[in-house]
Amino acid sequence: MSVVNLGLMLEDLEELVVCESFSADHEAVARSATVVADQGAGRLGARPETIVIDGVSHLRWTFGAPRVLLVGHHDTVWPIGSLREHPWSLEDGIARGPGVFDMKAGLVQTFHALAALPSLEGVCVLVTGDEELGSPSSRALIEDSARGCAAAFVLEAAADGGALKTARKGISTYQVTVRGRAAHAGLEPQAGANAGMELAHQILALAAMGEGDTTVTPTVLSGGSTINTVPALASVAVDVRVPSLKEQKRVDELVRGLSPRLAGTRLLVSGGPNRPPLEEASSARLFALARRIAEELGMPPLRGVAVGGASDGNLTAGVGCPTLDGLGAVGGGAHAAHEHTLVAEMPGRTRLLAELVRTVLG
On the question of pLDDT at 182 being above 90, the answer is yes
On the question of pLDDT at 1 being above 80, the answer is no
Domain with 46, as residue range(s), is 6-169+277-361
Cβ–Cβ under 8 Å, residues 70 and 124: yes
The per-residue pLDDT for range 124-152, each reduced to its tens digit, is 999 999 999 999 999 999 999 999 999 99
Q: To 10 degrees, what angle do helices 6-17 and 346-361 make? A: 100
**Residue 93 sits in the same domain as residue 242:** no
Residue in 152, 322, 317, 308 with CA at minimum distance from that of residue 243: 308
**Residue 246 sits in the same domain as residue 109:** no
Rounded distance between C-alpha atoms, residue 72 and residue 353, angstroms:
13
- Residue after which a domain boundary falls, among 275, 299, 320: 275
Rg (CA), the chain: 23
User: What are the angstrom distances between the C-alpha of 319 and each of 22, 123, 164, 192, 228?
Assistant: 28, 18, 21, 49, 52
Cβ–Cβ under 8 Å, residues 319 and 147: yes
Find residue 71's DSSP bridge partners.
126, 154
**Residue 160 sits in the same domain as residue 301:** yes
**Residue 347 sits in the same domain as residue 209:** no
On the question of pLDDT at 3 being above 90, the answer is no
Reduced to 3 states (helix: H, G, I; strand: E, B; else coil), residue 104 is helix
Judge if pTM exceeds 0.95: no
**Residue 180 sits in the same domain as residue 90:** no
Which residues lie below 8 Å from residue 18, measured CB to CB, with a gap of 6+? 83, 88, 97
Average pLDDT over residues 145-165: 97
**Residue 25 sits in the same domain as residue 104:** yes
Domain count, the chain: 2
Cβ–Cβ under 8 Å, residues 170 and 245: yes
- Residue after which a domain boundary falls, among 230, 257, 275: 275
Average pLDDT over residues 7-17: 98
On the question of pLDDT at 2 being above 70, the answer is no
**Residue 225 sits in the same domain as residue 251:** yes
Tell me the pLDDT of the chain averaged across its residues: 97
**Residue 62 sits in the same domain as residue 164:** yes
**Residue 22 sits in the same domain as residue 138:** yes
Quote the pLDDT of residue 153: 98
Whether residue 1 lies inside any domain: the answer is no
Average pLDDT over residues 219-237: 98
CATH of the domain at 337: 3.40.630.10
**Residue 300 sits in the same domain as residue 266:** no
The per-residue pLDDT for range 190-213, each reduced to its tens digit, is 999 999 999 999 999 999 999 999
Cβ–Cβ under 8 Å, residues 149 and 62: no
- Residue after which a domain boundary falls, among 275, 310, 345: 275
